[in-house]
Amino acid sequence: MAGKRKATSHKVIVYADRSSGKVIPGSVFAYPGDEIVFEAIGTDVLVLLPKISHFERISFIKGLMDKQVGAGAIKIREGKPTLFEISLNAKPGRYPYAVYCEKIRAFAVGNSDPTIIIRKRTDDGEDEEEPVNP
């Protein structure tokens, strides 16, 4: 008998050098209730989330409190990882997002545009293996 899946923590690192920014990993596969930690290296960043209601900022790991600077725009300071929880009410789907690196005044990239893919939970406690499209 399979039990319910425990929440998982995922880490997203954004780093910038003199001319480019990178998001690693480019895609995060997660479920409602999972956590995502965003960490900026070499720059302060703005994370632009398309469906801000799907994400709840639940704690700040280090330093001063970062702030939401607009609808769906979250500022994360260099060296101050920020933890988000995916809402239990988040709808399964693909959610491309963007990360603006203040130091280089440009957007970071993943292997493609960064994406958070929220998978669907089933009624029997098992989780869907393949991502879905909204």
pLDDT band at 67 (very low <50, low <70, confident <90, very high): very low
Which residue type, as a one-letter code, is found at position 81?
P
Mean pLDDT of the chain, nearest integer: 77
Task: Please say whether the beta carbons of 112 and 24 come within 8 A.
Answer: no
Strand, helix or coil for residue 53: helix
pLDDT band at 104 (very low <50, low <70, confident <90, very high): very high
Spatial distance between the Cα atoms of 85 and 31, rounded to a whole number of angstroms = 10
User: Does residue 101 surpass a pLDDT of 50?
Assistant: yes
User: What does the pLDDT average to over 87-112?
Assistant: 87
Going along the chain from its start, the domains and CATH numbers come out as: 9-118 (2.60.40.420)
Which residue type, as a one-letter code, is found at position 110?
G
pLDDT above 90 as % of the chain: 32
Query: Residue 42 has which token pair?
Result: 């070499």
Spatial distance between the Cα atoms of 124 and 37, rounded to a whole number of angstroms = 28
Q: Which of 58-62, 69-73, 78-82 has the lowest mean pLDDT?
A: 58-62
Query: Residue 29 has which token pair?
Result: 């596969």
User: What does the pLDDT average to over 69-76?
Assistant: 71
